[in-house]
Amino acid sequence: AQSVTQPDIHITVSEGASLELRCNYSYGATPYLFWYVQSPGQGLQLLLKYFSGDTLVQGIKGFEAEFKRSQSSFNLRKPSVHWSDAAEYFCAVGFRSGGYNKLIFGAGTRLAVHP
Amino acid sequence: DGGITQSPKYLFRKEGQNVTLSCEQNLNHDAMYWYRQDPGQGLRLIYYSQIVNDFQKGDIAEGYSVSREKKESFPLTVTSAQKNPTAFYLCASSISRTEYSPLHFGNGTRLTVT
């Protein structure tokens, strides 16, 4: 069965430090991959997406993600974290099921940023 | 600006009462979705709709009902049959369910049932 795993429930980094949030998926073919960010009490905002082509994807707010087929991973990175990046981050995997697109979300990683 | 509007932001109900959450979009999207979010569990799909007057159950549809009488509107009713209704509910839309496109989310409704 298809699944998405975000191994880190909470991560704390210092402002200005680099960040990597992990995402692994289980799916037989190449999925469609997304990262979303959620501020407290808000909806989800799309950071970036991978459909095909270049495996390094640039997104908004200085984020990037790299699709590694051999590792079934789509890790999110940012070279220098800002205090405003504190939020919850969700990885999502899209795939075909019964002629329709289906989306599965990971459980999320909550990011805290120390000043 | 186009977007998704969910109302109200906070909703309180007594156990045994049905309650309806509103979701309106002006993005001209065909597909609309309802998700439930609980701490540590990510988002789980309740119902989705591909077109007007058509909707399908998601992974956790028991105790919920929806309607799609207009393209712009996809209200969710949480019935008294839902055993644990207290949660954060998110409405989303996408261009269609057959083309890959990202979901656009509303800002959610937090429902508390006591």
Note the pLDDT tens digit of each residue in A9-58: 999 999 999 999 999 999 877 789 999 999 988 999 999 999 988 999 99
Nearest to A44 among B50, B99, B105 (CB): B105
Taking the CA of residue A18 and the nearest CA in chain B, the distance in Å comes to 24
**Are the Cβ atoms of B98 and A100 closer than 8 angstroms?**
yes
Residues 6+ away with beta carbon under 8 Å from A84: none
B90 chain-A contacts, CB cut-off 8 A: 43-44
Residues 6+ away with beta carbon under 8 Å from A101: A32, A94, A95, B97, B98, B99, B100
Q: Minimum mean pLDDT among A9-18, A91-100, B30-39: which range?
A: A91-100
- The predicted pLDDT at position A95 comes to 81
Nearest to A42 among B40, B99, B107 (CB): B107
**Are the Cβ atoms of B42 and A90 closer than 8 angstroms?**
yes
Answer whether A105's CB lies under 8 Å from A3's CB. no
State whether residue A84 is helix, strand or coil: helix
Distance CA A44, CA A24 (A): 20
Taking the CA of residue A100 and the nearest CA in chain B, the distance in Å comes to 5
Confidence check: pLDDT of B25 > 80: yes
DSSP chain B: ---EEEE-SEEEE-TT--EEEEEEE-S--SEEEEEEE-TTS-EEEEEEESSTT--EE-TT-TTEEE--SBTTB--EEE-TT-S---EEEEEEEES-SSS----EE---EEEEE-
B102 CB within 8 Å of a chain A CB = yes
**Which one is predicted more confidently, B97 or A67?**
A67
Residue B1's pLDDT band (cuts 50, 70, 90): low
